[in-house]
Homo-oligomer: A and B are copies of this chain.
């Protein structure tokens, strides 16, 4: 291990490794080789070893990796050894589905605030116990609840404005579901989820026939 710039792709793969390892834990697998893990994750074994080598030596030569240890290590690397408070902005179709979804909590992501502008939604109590606030209260509530990551599920036209407000409120991690490229200062990290791009990619592959 040496100090080097970590490829973005490595970080994403670490998530996948962790997910797969957690499944294995439930099946009482104690030790795993990079080869087996690689097959399961659909990557090259050397890739896994190299990804991990950016951060340390976690395996035992001739043996493999202890599944449990590796999960702990990867969580440490990714910063998942602590809870992360989330805020949802836009409690519509998609926002509600996400709020209802239990998987986030399981991974340490906790919805602690939700915002909308629709009077029919503001004040409503959600299944997970939180109450929908008006967007006007965004900054106040986000600071009060120590939210660190904002999820944007408003219509596309509103997304940039919401992003601006989030940044002002001190947020520097945004997961954006609206199909627009939002612009933020460097201090803020944005990830986009855009299903249509993925569909376009499938359409392309089917069209060129490979």
Question: Measuring CB to CB, which residues of chain A are less than 8 angstroms from any residue of chain B?
Answer: 8, 11-12, 14-16, 18-20, 23, 40-42, 77-80, 84, 86, 93-94, 96-98, 100-101, 103-104, 107, 109, 148-149, 172-175, 179-181, 183, 189, 191-208
Contacts and interface: CB of A to CB of B under 8 A. Distances in A.
Given A103-B179, A207-B79, A149 B202 contact: yes
Nearest to A199: B109
B206 A80 contact: no
Contacts of A77: 204
A102 to B, nearest CB: 10
A100 B95 CA distance: 13
A78 to B, nearest CB: 5
A20 B160 CA distance: 14
Given A79-B204, A181-B20, A203-B173, A101 B107 contact: no
> In the complex this chain forms, how many copies of it are found?
2
A177 B77 CA distance: 25
B93 A181 contact: no
A12 B78 contact: no
Q: Max chain B CB contacts within 10 Å: which of A100, A101, A195? A: A195
Contacts of A208: 79
A41 B202 contact: no
A170 to B, nearest CB: 12
Given A41-B181, A80-B203, A206-B173, A12 B197 contact: yes
